[in-house]
Amino acid sequence: MIHLLAQEASPGAMSDTGIWISNIFFYVIAAVAVVAALKLVTTANVVHAALYLLVVLSAVAATYVILGAEFAAATQVLVYLGAIMVLLLFGVMLTRARIGADSDLDHEQRWIGGLVAAGLGAVMVYSLWEGFGSDKLPADMQPQRTQMVSDEIFSTYIVPFEALSVLLLAALIGAVVVARRD
Amino acid sequence: MLATVAAEFAYWQTSIFKLLMAFVAVLIPAGGTVYLYLFKMVSFLQSRLGPMEAGPYGSLQLVAEVGKWAQKEDVVPSRADAFVFKAAPYVVLISTFLLVIVVPFGPDAVFADFDTGIFLALAVSSISVIGILMAGWASASKYSLLGGLRAAGQLIAYELPMVLAVVGVVIQAGTLNMQGIVEAQTTGEIFGWGALGHPFILTQFVGFFIFLIAVQAELAQTPFDMPVAESELVTGYMTEYSGFRFLLFFIGEFATANIFAFLASVLFLGGWSVPPFIMDAVPGLAPQVDGLAAALGGTTGVAEASFSPWFNLIGPVVMAVKMLALTFIVYWVRFTYPRFREDQLQSFAWKVLIPISLVNIAVTGVLKVVF
C-alpha cells in the first residue's frame, strides 16, 4: 500500500527516477511522522507533546504535497498548524506549561490505550489493504486541480457541504452560548 | 530566446539555482530595507544622519552589525528548555522561506508555481506564530511568555482580516494561482480601456488597506507592537535571545515584511508585469502569440496571453520597486504612530476590520456577477 501511495506521487508522467525519488521522500516523511507520533505519546512534557503533534501534522501535509493534493496540503497547514495547534499551544501555555518533566502526564491505563491503538491500526491497515490491495494508479496522473475540487464541492457535494456548514455554525453558536455566562 | 536557454538546464541544476535564489530573494531585500528604511529613513524623519562611519554614507553598517551579532556569545538561560529555545528562531525563518517560494518574479522566474499559490502563502505565514510561541515558552521568563502569548493572540486576530482581504482579489482574478492573478491584472480592462491593465488596487482598495493594516499587525510593527512593547516587556519573546539567534529573529522579521510587500504587489499592484501601454511601446516586450503561451498554459492552466521572456529579467526589478514602495509605507507608519493598547488592538481587528472585509467580499461577489 505504501508503495502504491508513493507511485501516486508522480505529478504528471514521471520517469522511473522521479518515482524512485518520490518514494525516498515518502519513506523519509513517513518515518519522521511515525517517530514523532511515538514521541508524542511517550514524552513527559505537555508542550513537547504539542510540538511533536505539530511535526506529525506537518509530515501529513508534506505527504499530501507528494500525492499532488496541493489544496489539501495548504488546508492542512492553514487549519491544523496555523489555527488548531496555535490555539492548543496558546491554551497550554496560558494554563499549565512547566519546563521539564511533568510527573502526572503518565497514566495507569496506558497499556489499555496501547491495545486500543494497535487494534485501530490493524483495522485501518487491513481495510486499506483489502480496499486497494495491488491497485495501480495511471502513470500519467496529474496533480489535483483546485478548480476540480471546488467544482466537485459546489456541484456533486453541495448538500453535504451546506449541511456541514450549518452544523459548524450551530457548534460555533453553541460554544458562544456555553462560554458566555451573562 | 531566454526560454530556450532555461530549457537546457537539468532539473537538479535549476533546483540548486532556485535554492540560491531563495536566499538572494530573502536576504538582499531584507538587508536593503533595513539600511534604507530602518537606518536612514527613520534618521531623516527624526532630523539626524543615522550611521555614517562604516563605509560610504554608512552603507556597510549592516555588515558591521551582522559581524557584531555573529561573534556574540550564544546564551541559553539556565532554566530554559534548551532544544526548543534553540529551535524557535529557525521555525520563524522556515516560515519566511516557505513564503518566498510562492512569490512569482517573472513568467518563468518562480520558485514553485503552486495551483493554490496565495492560499498556501497565507497558510505558511501562520507557521511563524508557532516559532514565536516556542521562543516565548522555552525562555523560562515571564516577559518572554507574556510577549509570546500577546503575539499569538494578535497574529490569530489579524490573520483573519488578511485572508478575507485577499478573497476579494481572488474573486476578481478567478484563480488562487499567483501567475494567474498577475495575468488577470495585465490583461484586464477598465470598462474596455486596457492601456493600464487592471491593477486590483483600483477596485479592491478596501482590501488593499485592510491587507496593509493586517501586514503591519502580523509583523508586530508599531502601532501593533504590543508583543514586543519595550517599556513593559523588554522585547517580549526575544528578550532572552542574544547573538546569532537574535539575528535570525531580526532577519525573519524584516525579510517577512518584504515578502508580504511582494505578496501585496502581486495581489494589488500587478506583480512583475508592467502596464500594457509600456509593453506596446517597448519593442520586444509585446505579448507573443504562441511558444511561451503553451509553456505557461501547461503549468498554470490559466494563462491565455504569453509574456516576453525578458520579463524574467525585468520582473524582479519591477517587483523590487513595488516592494520598496510598499515597505516604505510599513516603516513610515511604524515610526509615526504610537502603540495601540491590547484591548483596542483586538477590538479593532474583530469589530472593524473583519466586518469591513466581509462586506467587501459580498460587494465584490455581487459586482462580479453583475458585470
Residues B210-251 have pLDDT tens digits of 999 998 888 877 788 777 777 777 777 888 888 888 888 888
Q: Rounded distance, CA A54 to CA A77, Å?
A: 10
Cell of B167: 478573497
CB distance A77–B127 less than 8 Å? yes
Mean pLDDT of chain B: 81
Q: How far is A116 from chain B (nearest CA, A)?
A: 31
Same-domain check for residues A164 and A97: no
Q: Above 50 in pLDDT, residue B134?
A: yes
| Co-location of A89 and A177 in the same domain | no
Cross-chain Cβ contact B127/A47 below 8 Å: no
Q: CA-CA distance, B60 to B328, in Å (whole number)?
A: 21
Tell me how far CA of residue A59 lies from CA of A30, A36, A66, B301, in angstroms: 7, 9, 11, 28
Spatial distance between the Cα atoms of B209 and B333, rounded to a whole number of angstroms: 13
Using the Cβ of B342 and the Cβ atoms of chain A, whether some distance falls under 8 Å is answered with no
Q: Which chain A residue's Cα is nearest to B85? A: A99
A15 and A73 assigned to the same domain: yes
B88 and A CB contact within 8 Å: no
Which residues, listed in sequence order, are joined to residue B110 by a DSSP beta bridge?
B104
- Whether A156 and A138 share a structural domain: no
pLDDT at A167: 95
Nearest to A97 by CA among A49, A35, A52: A49
Task: List the one residue out of B225, B241, B246, B214 whose CA is nearest residue B70.
Answer: B246
Under 8 Å between Cβ of B210 and B360: yes
Confidence of residue B301 (pLDDT cuts 50, 70, 90): very low
Amino acid type, B35: Y
CB B275 within 8 A of CB B195: yes
Q: How confident is the prediction for chain A on average, in pLDDT? A: 80
Query: Tell me, what CATH number does A81's domain have?
Result: 1.20.120.1200
- A155: its cell numbers: 456541484
Instruction: Find the range with the poorest average confidence among A52-66, B194-208, B349-363.
Output: B194-208
Residue B65 lies in a domain: no
B60: CB partners within 8 A, 6+ apart: B54
CB-based contact (8 Å) between B160 and chain A?
Answer: no
Mark yes or no for CB contact B130/A90 under 8 Å. no
Nearest CA distance, A28 vs chain B (angstrom): 19
Number of separate domains in chain B: 1
The one-letter code for the residue type at A85 is M
For residue B5, name the pLDDT band (cuts at 50, 70, 90). low
ipTM of the complex: 0.77
Which residues of chain A does B127 touch, with a Cβ-Cβ cutoff of 8 Å? 77, 81-82
Classify residue B58: in a domain, yes or no. Answer: no
> For the residues B247-256, what does the mean pLDDT come to?
86
Q: Is residue B70 part of a domain?
A: no
> Are residues A123 and A67 part of one domain?
yes
Q: Name chain A contacts of B134, Cβ cutoff 8 Å.
A: 51
**What is the rounded distance in angstroms from the CA atom of residue B182 to the CA atom of residue B319?**
12
CA B146 to chain centre: 26
Residue B254 distance to chain A (closest CA, Å):
21
Instruction: Give the A:B interface size as CB pairs under 8 Å.
Output: 84
The grid cell for B176 is 488562487
Same domain, residue pair A42 and A129: yes
Domain residues for A167?
A: 145-182
CA distances from A16 to A4, B288, B340 (A): 14, 35, 57
Q: How many CB atoms lie within 10 A of CB A102?
A: 17
Shared domain for A138 and A149, answered yes or no, is no
User: Distance (Å, rounded) from C-alpha B175 to C-alpha B297?
Assistant: 14
Q: B181 pLDDT exceeds 60? A: yes
Residue B152 CA to residue B175 CA, distance in Å, equals: 30
Give pLDDT, residue A31: 93
**CB within 8 Å of A8: residues ≥ 6 apart:** A67, A68, A137, A141
Cα B262 from Cα B317, distance rounded (Å): 12
Q: Tell me the β-bridge partners of B104.
A: B110
Query: Is B133 close to A77, i.e. CB distance below 8 A?
Result: no
Does residue B137 sit at the A interface (CB-CB below 8 Å)?
Answer: yes
Q: What is the mean pLDDT of residues A161-166?
A: 92
Given an 8 Å threshold on Cβ–Cβ distance, is B133 in contact with A146?
no
Does residue A116 surpass a pLDDT of 90?
Answer: yes
Residue A148: the pLDDT is 80
- Total number of domains in chain A: 2
My answer on whether A83 and A162 are in the same domain is no
Q: pLDDT higher for A55 or A135?
A: A55
Check whether residue A93 and residue A117 sit in a common domain. yes
Please work out, in degrees rounded to the nearest 5, the angle formed at the alpha carbon of residue A44 by the alpha carbons of A42 and A45.
120
As a whole-number percent, the residues of chain A with pLDDT over 70 amount to: 82
Q: Flag if B120 and A77 touch (Cβ within 8 Å).
A: yes
Terminal Cα-to-Cα distance of chain B (whole angstroms): 39
Torsion angle of C-alpha atoms A60, A63, A65, A68, degrees rounded to 10? -130
What's the N-to-C CA distance of chain A in angstroms? 54
Q: Residue written as cell 512547566? A: A98
Which of the 8 DSSP states describes residue B38?
Answer: I
Which of B186, B187, B181, B157 lies closest to B168, judged by CA? B181
| pLDDT computed for residue A6 by the predictor | 38
Angle A77-A79-A84 from CA coordinates, rounded to 5°: 110
* CB nearest to A81's CB, from B127, B136, B149: B127
Is A99 in the B-facing interface, judged by CB distances under 8 Å?
yes
Angstroms from B126 CA to nearest CA on chain A: 5
Domain span at residue B265 reads: 16-41+84-275+308-370
> pLDDT tens, A8-63?
444 444 566 667 777 888 899 999 999 998 888 888 788 888 889 999 999 999 88
Nearest CA in chain B to A94: B149
CB B180 within 8 A of CB B132: no
Q: How far is CA B94 from CA B33, B75, B232, B249, in A?
A: 20, 22, 29, 11
Q: Does B94 touch chain A (CB under 8 A)?
A: no
CA distance B120 to chain A (A): 5
pLDDT above 70 for A7: no
The alpha carbon of residue B147 is apart from the nearest alpha carbon of chain A, in Å, by 12
For A90, name the nearest residue in chain B, comparing CA atoms only. Answer: B149
Residues A31 and A46 in one domain: yes
Interface test with B, best of A86, A140, A148, A172 (most B CBs within 10 A): A86
Contact yes or no for B181/B201 (Cβ under 8 A): no
Alpha carbon B57 to its chain's center: 28
Angle of CA points B93, B99, B100, to nearest 5°: 95
A71 to chain B, closest Cα gap in Å:
6
Q: Please identify which residue in the block is written with the cell numbers 490559466.
A: B302
Read off the pLDDT of residues B17-68 as tens digits, 9 standing for 90 and up. Answer: 888 888 888 888 888 888 888 888 888 888 888 888 887 887 888 888 888 8
Q: How far is CA B269 from CA A32, B116, B217, in A?
A: 41, 19, 21
Contact status of A41 with chain B (Cβ, < 8 Å): no
| pLDDT (average), residues B70-82 | 82
Give the length of chain B.
Answer: 371
Lowest mean pLDDT among B118-122, B138-142, B157-161: B138-142
> Cα dist. B370→A21, B184, B231, B363, B364 in Å?
49, 18, 52, 10, 10
Residue at B64 is within a domain: no
Residue with cell 512534557: A45
Q: Would you call B117 an interface residue with chain A, using a CB distance cutoff of 8 Å?
A: no
- Which of B119, B139, B159, B300 is the best mutation test for A, with the most CBs of A within 10 A? B119
Coil, helix or strand for B215?
A: helix
Range 344-363 of B in CB contact (< 8 A) with A: none
Assigned domain for B51 exists: no
Q: CA-CA distance, B262 to B265, in Å (whole number)? A: 5
- Write down the H helix ranges in chain B: 2-7, 11-33, 42-45, 61-70, 82-100, 117-125, 127-138, 142-173, 178-187, 205-218, 230-233, 243-268, 276-281, 292-300, 311-334, 342-347, 354-370
Query: In angstroms, what separates the C-alpha of B44 from chain A's closest C-alpha?
Result: 38
pLDDT, average across residues A114-135: 89
Residues A83, A153, single domain; the answer is no
Query: Is A170 near chain B, with CB under 8 Å?
Result: no
**Cα separation, B237 vs B231, whole angstroms:** 14
